[in-house]
Amino acid sequence: MDRNRSTLNGKGHALLKWAVYLVPLAFLLLFFLFPLARLMVYSLAPEGILDLSGFTKILTTPYYLEVIGFTFVQALISTGLTLVLALPCAYVFTRYRFPGKSLLLTLSTLPFVLPPVVVAAAFVALLGERGLINDALTRLIGLSEAPLRIEQTLTLVFIAHVFYNYPVALRIITAYWATQNEHIEQSARVLGAHGWRLWWRVHLPMLRPALTAAALLVFIFCFTSFGIVLILGGQRYATIEVEIYRQATGVFNLQVAAALSLVQIGFMLALMFIYTRLQRRNAASAELKSAAAVSRNPRGWREKIFVGINLLIMIGLLFVPLIALVIRAITFGGNGISFRYFAMLSTNPRGSVLFTPPIQAIGNSLIFASLTAALALVLGLIATWMISDRRSRFASWLDPLLMLPLATSAVTLGFGYILALGQPPLNLRSSLMLIWFAHTLVALPFVVRSALPAYGALPANIRESASVLGASPLQRFLKIDLPLMRRAIIVGITFAFTVSIGEFGASLFIARPESTTIPIVIYRLLGQPGAANYGQALAMSTILLLVCAAALVIIQRFRTPGMAEF
Amino acid sequence: MLALNDLYKGYGGTPVLRGLKLAVEDGEILCLLGPSGCGKSTALRLIAGLETPDTGTITVDGQVIINTPIHERGFGLMFQDFALFPHLNVFDNAAFGLRMHGIPKAEIQRRVSEVLELVRLAGFEKRSVGELSGGEKQRVALARSLAPEPRLLMLDEPLGSLDASLRTQLIGEIREIIKTAALTAIYVTHDRGEAFSVSDRLGLMNNGKIERIGTPNAVYDHPKTVFSAAFLGFNNLLSAQELAALGIVVEAPEEKGVRLIHPSGIQISGDQGIAMQITEAIFEGERYRLQVSKADIQLSLSAPAAGQRFEIGETVQVEIDSRWVQALSESA
């Protein structure tokens, strides 16, 4: 039966409702669509008349074509590496039972919430020239210089990309594999398939939907990689994202930067289109699976070694760099544990790349993150309300519109802000609000994805009881809906807080010296020579790592299994 | 007090209410009884304001309330699943309506204690509703509905989710509580026994309309329509010819309609009566449920066991009181 969730009568209520509804719409219009539109217009007509020289420059200069080519190739290689490493591990997680399995799976979500600056710092701390491994090797063997020289090379970029995407691929493949009929593999074995033929003829074809979905998603992530390539790739390499940033802020070639942004938006739309088409087809072809795989203990030394190697790869890839970061931050440049670089964060030595002591950036970041969480919560709840309002037609277009910031690269967004909001009629260039709004925009999808299912799961009878007992729609929202959605709200604002505190791409464009945030300070410190800068970068990254890890604990503690749509 | 005038309501083209008319008097407990899908719960939802009728009006004391928002109607509604607020304790659940109306704290305290006393839950104030038994939850839901002293209390299958023994115990209790609180109430159920014991007046619903309305006794004694008789479990429906074949004289035998031999007018007698053969005998402890037949005419009746034993194939004397033979119409 089609029953409305509630009946809201009276003209006053309707007017108020529309006034409230306008808030998130106005926000999206002003701080998302307007900057992107401005960016587009600028790329096509920088002086007000049609001028496509930005595009012709891109298409005729070998350098820009190389950038685009590199963007594709590095994404392709990263995707390949990720899948090759994640697939056997997905098998281990699907088929075998072993101690610490669920803990490992939970911990493997950590990369989801880690900002690229922290990941870059972690790999520098482990594999960099002054990293833990080089440090150990020089001390042990007594070498005069570091034997491992992969800083500022593609190797480190690829490893970091695999770090980010390995858990994504692992989750997608494992979730799909767990629904597959175990008898298929057993039949194949009975029919004589084993070893690589079992993989080639049975596992891979069977997993194709999951593999293509995972591959495309990983490709999209790597294609838009900004922070990792910028920090770990050095001057020699640039993805489209990095090039937009360099053109816009390094050489002030705004026209080329805008044209590149449009090219990037085009690629992203195409990739997202393919991805959603693929997802729809996969959903349509999914059959009802019976006898889903049951995991068991590994038997025999071959199976045990297989499980062991995969778990070692996983731990080595995901956790060792983070542990190295913490160890390096408290041991660098001295014997034994010392917190001197943490202490140094509150000073502002002469000759520093920064205008303010790093500690101030921590304060800024905390303020921005709190404000972002608050604003994203308010906007997200109103949006949830709008999408769920069956008598309005918002649901069909507001939901995808709200997800769009996720598919828009942060660099494009930041650049759009500079172009659109840095000059009349709306000049907020010097306003601290720009960072706040940019972060809120990126955080909003997370709040909505968290709140929407929780709101939909509110029992209709309970809400109706409240109305009958005299609760106005607002009272019902405050006294019934909010308390019952408490867990989802905690998850949503924690996500928003984490997104804000780690946001790098947009902030790099928008932030001014007095509004510098933690990731930007880490980036600047990492780019400078000198032990003090290096030590402080590691100390700052460690702080950010701990904040994100704490956020993850909160998210895991409060999320309702099977409810969050991530 | 409350009047429903020609209410129509459909969902996606399927009509649920088709011209429902109903008047509820001040201070009475009116039961809406009917099979599932007859529209009785929908009627409650329309009265509460959770839905709006397609056509027709609802008035309270002559005032049309169709456009009054739910929360300003001042009614009470109790759901079958109780719909207690899981994040509030017993006291706060019961106090919810009073708080929404901005009642002063001391008054809330007094009133909540009073209703919790009434539903015999004094001392449960600080309990979480999650740890209550089914019966206790039902009482909290009742207390919560009673606390704001609603102009009209609606109960939608209030005992529906409780087990049978608890139900029998609570039926009398609910009536007593509503009467003590001196409320006007509409009580929706699909259970005949519950409806008879709880109501002052009973409306039998079928296909989105009232089929038969009256005091429980009147409805039981004179169901008047084929549907009402069948819903009440009366199945001795015969034509005038069949009655004549059994030697029963009926008024206006030329009329085509179906006649009901009311259960109150059929019994096993010692000697006089119609000789009929037992085709089915089910022993139920206190009574036997019997099927008897004569010349392809089947009748069912119930007879006190009282030490007797009825066997299939045995012939018994069935006495039919012609005063309890009623003509039924097809529908209201």
Instruction: Please say whether the beta carbons of A539 and A545 come within 8 A.
Output: no
Identify the closest residue of chain B to A6 by CA–CA distance: B50
Q: CA B134, A481, A469, B204 torsion: positive or negative? A: negative
Percentages (nearest 5) of helix, strand, coil residues in chain A = 75, 0, 25
Chain B 125-184, CB below 8 Å of chain A: which residues? 144-145, 148
Which of the pair, A422 or A123, is modelled with greater confidence?
A123
CA of A448 vs chain B CAs: smallest distance (Å): 23
pLDDT tens digits, one per residue of A355-379: 667 888 899 999 999 999 999 999 9
Burial string for A157-183 (b: 16+ CB within 10 Å, else e) reads bbbbbbbbbbbbbbbbbbebbbebebe
* Residue B138 included in any domain: yes
Mean pLDDT of A180-204: 77
Look at residue A563 in the predicted model and tell me its pLDDT. Answer: 47
Highest mean pLDDT of the ranges A9-13, A351-355, A458-462: A458-462
In this structure, are B264 and B204 located in the same domain? no
Domains of chain A (ranges, CATH numbers): 53-112+165-302 (1.10.3720.10), 360-560 (1.10.3720.10)
Residue A171 is which amino acid? R
Confidence band of A565 (pLDDT split at 50, 70, 90): very low
In this structure, what DSSP letter does residue A283 have? H
| Angstrom distances, CA of residue A421 to CA of A28, A437, B9 | 14, 11, 53
Cβ contacts of B240 within 8 Å, gap of 6 or more: B250, B253, B254, B255, B256, B259
d(CA B317, CA B278): 10
**By the CB < 8 Å criterion, does B53 face chain A?**
no
Q: CATH no. for residue B138?
A: 3.40.50.300
Q: Which two tokens stand for residue A295?
A: 């995991």
User: Domain limits at B287?
Assistant: 237-327
Put simply, the answer to whether B70 touches A462 (Cβ < 8 Å) is no
The complex's ipTM?
0.82
Instruction: Please say whether the beta carbons of A481 and A424 come within 8 A.
Output: no
pLDDT tens digits, one per residue of B165-207: 888 888 888 999 999 989 999 999 999 999 999 999 999 999 9
Mean pLDDT of A535-539: 90
DSSP, collapsed to helix, strand or coil, labels residue B134 as: helix
Is it true that the peptide bond before A513 is cis, omega within 30 degrees of 0?
no
In this structure, what DSSP letter does residue A47 have? T
d(CA B83, CA B80): 8
Instruction: Please say whether the beta carbons of A495 and A555 come within 8 A.
Output: yes
Judged against a pLDDT cut of 70, whether residue B25 lies above it is answered with: yes
Percent over 90 (pLDDT), chain B? 64
In this structure, are B193 and B69 located in the same domain? yes
In this structure, are B8 and B74 located in the same domain? yes
Q: CATH no. for residue B312?
A: 2.40.50.140
Look at residue A10 in the predicted model and tell me its pLDDT. Answer: 52
In this structure, are B42 and B165 located in the same domain? yes
Judged against a pLDDT cut of 70, whether residue A352 lies above it is answered with: no
In this structure, are B205 and B245 located in the same domain? no
Mean pLDDT of B142-165: 90
Given B213, B231, B249, the domain boundary residue is B231
**By the CB < 8 Å criterion, does A470 face chain B?**
yes
| Angle at A70 (CA atoms; ends A65, A74), nearest 5 degrees | 160
* Residue among B12, B79, B101 whose CB faces A465 most closely: B79
Mean pLDDT of A308-314: 94
Mean pLDDT of A198-221: 88
d(CA B198, CA B173): 9
Of A306-315, B140-149, B269-278, least confident by mean pLDDT is: B269-278
Put simply, the answer to whether B76 touches A468 (Cβ < 8 Å) is yes
* Residue among A461, A462, A471 whose CB faces B71 most closely: A471
In this structure, are B17 and B134 located in the same domain? yes
Which of the pair, A199 or A86, is modelled with greater confidence?
A86
| Angstrom distances, CA of residue A503 to CA of A116, A162, A507, A527 | 9, 20, 7, 18
Instruction: Please say whether the beta carbons of B48 and A441 come within 8 A.
Output: no
Judged against a pLDDT cut of 50, whether residue A8 lies above it is answered with: no
In this structure, are B184 and B259 located in the same domain? no
Put simply, the answer to whether B96 touches A469 (Cβ < 8 Å) is yes
Q: To which residue do tokens 């190797």 refer? A: A155
In this structure, are B255 and B210 located in the same domain? no
Cβ contacts of A119 within 8 Å, gap of 6 or more: A111, A160, A163, A164, A227, A228, A321
Task: Mutate one of A5, A7, A468, A480 to test the B interface: name it (highest B CB count within 10 A).
Answer: A468
Put simply, the answer to whether B75 touches A464 (Cβ < 8 Å) is no
Judged against a pLDDT cut of 80, whether residue A333 lies above it is answered with: no
Q: Which two tokens stand for residue A298?
A: 């590994």
**A122 exposure class (CB count in 10 Å sphere: 0-12, 13-18, 19+):** buried
Given B193, B209, B231, the domain boundary residue is B231
Taking Cα atoms as reference points, which of A308, A330, A272, A325 lies closest to residue A160?
A325
d(CA A392, CA A383): 12
CA of A372 vs chain B CAs: smallest distance (Å): 28
d(CA A274, CA A63): 28
Give the A:B interface size as CB pairs under 8 Å.
92
**By the CB < 8 Å criterion, does B81 face chain A?**
yes
* Residue among A462, A469, A480 whose CB faces B97 most closely: A469
Q: To which residue do tokens 């088409």 refer? A: A277
Mean pLDDT of B217-246: 91
Identify the closest residue of chain B to A459 by CA–CA distance: B83
Taking Cα atoms as reference points, which of A105, A115, A99, A82 lies closest to residue A549?
A115
Mean pLDDT of B16-27: 93
Judged against a pLDDT cut of 50, whether residue A386 lies above it is answered with: yes
How many residues in chain A?
Answer: 566
Instruction: Please say whether the beta carbons of A538 and A339 come within 8 A.
Output: no
In this structure, are B14 and B100 located in the same domain? yes
* Residue B332 included in any domain: no
Residue A47 is which amino acid? E
Which of the pair, A339 or B44, is modelled with greater confidence?
B44
Q: Which residues pair with B274 in a beta bridge?
A: B318
* Residue B199 included in any domain: yes
d(CA A481, CA A455): 7
Percent over 90 (pLDDT), chain A? 44
* Residue B207 included in any domain: yes
**A437 exposure class (CB count in 10 Å sphere: 0-12, 13-18, 19+):** buried
Put simply, the answer to whether B83 touches A459 (Cβ < 8 Å) is yes
In this structure, are B264 and B215 located in the same domain? no
Given B198, B214, B231, the domain boundary residue is B231
Burial string for A244-272 (b: 16+ CB within 10 Å, else e) reads bbbbbbeeebbbbbbbbbbbbbebbeebb
Judged against a pLDDT cut of 70, whether residue A465 lies above it is answered with: yes
Look at residue A350 in the predicted model and tell me its pLDDT. Answer: 53
Of A35-44, A186-195, A344-353, B54-63, least confident by mean pLDDT is: A344-353
Percent over 70 (pLDDT), chain A? 91
Indicate the number of domains in chain B: 2
CA of B199 vs chain A CAs: smallest distance (Å): 23
pLDDT tens digits, one per residue of B242-290: 888 888 877 777 777 889 999 999 988 877 888 899 999 999 989 999 9
Mean pLDDT of A382-394: 81
In this structure, are B256 and B111 located in the same domain? no
Taking Cα atoms as reference points, which of B1, B151, B152, B153 lies closest to residue B62?
B1
Task: Mutate one of B85, B99, B108 to test the A interface: name it (highest A CB count within 10 A).
Answer: B85
* Residue B71 included in any domain: yes
**By the CB < 8 Å criterion, does A8 face chain B?**
yes
In this structure, are B198 and B311 located in the same domain? no
Strands B297-304 and B287-294: antiparallel
Instruction: Please say whether the beta carbons of A306 and A498 come within 8 A.
Output: no
Put simply, the answer to whether B49 touches A7 (Cβ < 8 Å) is yes
pLDDT tens digits, one per residue of A513-527: 888 899 999 998 888
Mean pLDDT of A119-126: 93
Put simply, the answer to whether A461 touches B51 (Cβ < 8 Å) is no
Judged against a pLDDT cut of 90, whether residue B127 lies above it is answered with: yes
Highest mean pLDDT of the ranges A153-157, A386-390, A417-421, A437-441: A437-441
Judged against a pLDDT cut of 60, whether residue A3 lies above it is answered with: no
* Residue B99 included in any domain: yes
* Residue B155 included in any domain: yes
